[in-house]
Amino acid sequence: MTKSCVSQASVANFPHQVFREYDIRGIAGEEITEHFAYTLAIAYAQLLPKDVSQPVVVARDVRLSGLDLQQAVIRGLMAQGIDVIDLGMVPTPMAYYAVYHLHTAGCIMVTASHNPSAYNGFKLMLGQESFHGACLQKLKQIMLEEPINKARKQASLQYQDLSQVYTDFVTKDCALARPLKVVIDAGNGPAGLVAAPVYRGLGCEVIELYCEPDGRFPNHHPDPTVEDNMQDIAAKVCEVGADLGIAFDGDGDRIGVVDEQGHIIWGDMLLLLFARELLLSHPGATVISEAKSSQLLYDDIQAHGGEALMWRTGHSLMKAKMKQTGALLAGEMSGHFFFADRYFGFDDAIYAGARLMQLLAAQSLPLSFLLHDLPTKVSTPEIRVICSDAEKFAIVAAAIQYFSNAGYAMNTIDGMRLYHHGGWALLRASNTQPALVLRYEADDAASLQALRALLEDWLNQRRSNCGKA
């Protein structure tokens, strides 16, 4: 196969919409086809150094379309003379780990993360750098130009299983002071196949939920940021008297946690716990989070001697900012956590779970008590409002101008985080779907309601064709 998935005459039919800010995702068989995957691999090869000798890692998650797409990627790379290491079906962090452990030229992971089962897509690394933004657009442009370069050399294909190497690394790095009982929920994604032996290797008693890989995701959607998806693990933790529960998303790079009482600990509060632990051994360290995170997190980092930095949402953007600033830790509300202290700085939910258990095992208190010293705040979950891609950024820009002219304090690093009534209101454009993202936090319910009224009254006058999701 040497033809691109599009010709110049059919550019309009190319699935431009699958190229997102951080990765590529679309409907498998319609937008993400074998032809698309093959051409993507050929285009990716054009971005590698001309004298590259290292192989590229290729892997997939559990989706039913994954094997065919992965094989198309492998054919495309080998057609360009690029050696390939096939990891088979693994969590995304295993592909990232392989890049560092095997010193490869990069990786192509076939995954649509937590999207529904009909979707598939790709997460890519070039060397040890994640693809995002302009890099993805450059890849798209090369695909549109129908790359057909001849192979530089005869390519090789080898299969590797790094599960034991990875298990040995994590169990050595995250040794526990005492054994714990943990419930894990893989949502029928690939993470359970790795997490269960890793956590047992740490000496834990592990109770498994939905750890059988099944690309149909028959038990619940594999997204631990949605409360409904955490109900089974919360119930099981309480039933068996576990110390905590750890859930994973569809490709194992995002974590969800419940304490021993079955209560969810959201991403910003998990990051707060990780930051406190980090700052004991690395005083003054920089910790990065996003505009959706609680002010309690930023204040607590500063109070414990750290440097708190708010940055733009997105796993690729976070990783790039960590390298730029030398930050040792970063995290998002969505459950992406990045450890550059003792680890490689990429998002790995299995490793994050091990770090959390190490932190917990070093103390005699249950997990639910570790945040008891924080002031009380009231907040909303993330609120999404449907809004066209053409309109969403203009609305955010208009809000910044309006409230800035009105004299309100704000942070505009990622949309508008407006400070008022002892709290904050967030308005930003989603980078992954046609939507606006809102969130609020305040000292009490009355202040929270006042914040909502302030922003949403203005927004309702501007929304035109938008409507609540």
Judge if 13 and 139 occupy the same domain: yes
Q: Is residue 306 part of a domain?
A: yes
Q: Is residue 364 part of a domain?
A: no
Amino acid (one-letter) located at 51: D
- Number of domain units in the chain: 4
Residue bearing tokens 């076939």: 110
Query: Nearest CA to 287 among 262, 257, 318, 309?
Result: 309
Domain boundary among 231, 263, 295: 263
Strands (E) in 132-192, as ranges, are 157-159, 181-185
Judge if 181 and 127 occupy the same domain: no
In this prediction, residue 11 carries a pLDDT of 66
Q: Is residue 190 part of a domain?
A: yes
Q: Is residue 102 part of a domain?
A: yes
In this prediction, residue 410 carries a pLDDT of 97
Domain boundary among 160, 179, 205: 160
The active-site residue out of 4, 7, 53, 113 is: 113
Judge if 112 and 32 occupy the same domain: yes
Q: Is residue 335 part of a domain?
A: yes
Structural domain for 93, as ranges: 8-160
113 annotated active-site = yes
Rounded mean pLDDT of 377-395?
Answer: 91
Judge if 26 and 52 occupy the same domain: yes
The CATH number given to whatever domain includes residue 422 is: 3.30.310.50
The set of residues, in sequence order, having a beta carbon less than 8 Å from that of 41 and lying 6+ positions away, is 72, 73, 74, 75, 76, 77, 79, 80, 108
Q: Identify the band that residue 22 occupies on the pLDDT scale cut at 50, 70 and 90.
A: confident
In this prediction, residue 8 carries a pLDDT of 47
Distance CA 241, CA 262 (A): 10
Rounded mean pLDDT of 65-88?
Answer: 97
The set of residues, in sequence order, having a beta carbon less than 8 Å from that of 374 and lying 6+ positions away, is 272, 296, 300
Judge if 133 and 202 occupy the same domain: no
Judge if 116 and 36 occupy the same domain: yes
Rounded mean pLDDT of 446-455?
Answer: 96
The CATH number given to whatever domain includes residue 32 is: 3.40.120.10
Q: Identify the band that residue 9 occupies on the pLDDT scale cut at 50, 70 and 90.
A: very low
Rounded percentage of the chain residues whose pLDDT exceeds 90: 86
Q: pLDDT tens digit string along 227-271?
A: 999 999 999 999 999 999 999 999 999 999 999 999 999 999 999
CA dihedral 320, 321, 322, 327 (to 10 degrees): 170
Q: At what angle do helices 349-361 and 191-201 cross, to 10 degrees?
A: 30
Q: Is residue 387 part of a domain?
A: yes
In this prediction, residue 468 carries a pLDDT of 45
Domain boundary among 111, 142, 160: 160
Judge if 310 and 195 occupy the same domain: no
Judge if 275 and 210 occupy the same domain: no
Rounded mean pLDDT of 336-353?
Answer: 97
In this prediction, residue 466 carries a pLDDT of 47
CB 23 within 8 A of CB 123: yes
CA torsion sign for 292, 108, 355, 231 is: positive
Q: Is residue 182 part of a domain?
A: yes
Judge if 13 and 155 occupy the same domain: yes
Q: Is residue 139 part of a domain?
A: yes
Rounded mean pLDDT of 420-447?
Answer: 93
Judge if 94 and 181 occupy the same domain: no
Judge if 202 and 333 occupy the same domain: no
**pTM of the entire structure?**
0.93
What's the mean per-residue pLDDT of the chain? 93
Judge if 81 and 170 occupy the same domain: no
